[in-house]
Amino acid sequence: DGAELLKKTSTVKGKGKAKNELGGGSFQSMGLHPSLLRALTLRGYRTPTPIQRSSIPTLLSNPPRDLVGMARTGSGKTLAYMIPLLQRLGGRHSGVYGARALILVPSRELAVQVLKVGRELSRGWREAGDQEHAGERDESGPSTSANALRWALVVGGEGLDEQFETMANNPDVIIATPGRLLHLLVEMSLNLSTIQYLVFDEADRLFELGFSTHLTSILEKLPSSRQTLLFSATLPKSLVEFAKAGLREPKLVRLDSET
């Protein structure tokens, strides 16, 4: 009967509203570049996970907002920061000097994983862009290897010469462990004044490993106008203190066990 129908309708509406309050229920509703959307589909990412739903719209808002994202391992935190990163960078090499994004991670293994996720998505973006261009829909023109987004891995265990070379190639995104990054900052007076987007991934582990003094020294080299994100599975007191010092009125997205 009518009342039941109303009930049903309002339940559906209520659900939709809750999703919207979390910042949109689908990748399609986030205002992403069409080629980035296609790249996501191509890689099999059809619907955002809860941490992605609540983080991505905030990270893409204007003016940019800082964010602390806490969610368990396996909840999709990598894409929660990688999608906004690619959208902000336009998915392509800037053509001007200086890296625009820096991702700090606790280990070489994680750096390699993050690089893989980022590279695959940006490659997917370029491929999707080419298809669009064939239909004359992409104003930004065809992709070439020259305007592909450039990534640099700055981690222990890589030869230093190799890393100097990567840095000389003018990367757009640097994925780094704190110790090695500080080493390069000193040894090749690496300039980080162009960084606009800074991510601390697995921040609790970065702290457990005793990187906090390294992190503070790195922060001093970055422009204060940057957008800063901190993702973690746990949020110990020391990390909250660090976030208060290094981030500007961050939005806290905290997803405990319910998801």
Closest CB to Mg ion among residues 119, 183: 119
Maximum CA extent, the chain: 75
Give the C-alpha separation, 233 to 73, whole Å: 6
**Chain center to CA of 30:** 15
- Residue 254 C-beta: closest distance to ligand ADP, Å: 13
Give the C-alpha separation, 207 to 163, whole Å: 25
Reference 146, options 124, 169, 130; nearest CA is 169
Is residue 82 a contact residue for Mg ion (CB under 5 A)? no
- Residue 110 C-beta: closest distance to ligand ADP, Å: 9
Q: By the criterion CB under 6 A, which residues form the site for ligand ADP?
A: 45, 47-49, 52, 71, 73-79
Task: Choose the contact partner of 257 out of ligand ADP, Mg ion, none; CB within 5 to 8 A by kind.
Answer: none
Closest CB to ligand ADP among residues 9, 234: 234
Residue-wise over 205-243: b if at least 16 C-beta within 10 A, else e?
bbbeeebbebbeebbeebeeebbbbbbbeebeeebeebb
Task: Choose the contact partner of 48 out of ligand ADP, Mg ion, none; CB within 5 to 8 A by kind.
Answer: ligand ADP
Is residue 115 a contact residue for Mg ion (CB under 5 A)? no
Task: Choose the contact partner of 259 out of ligand ADP, Mg ion, none; CB within 5 to 8 A by kind.
Answer: none
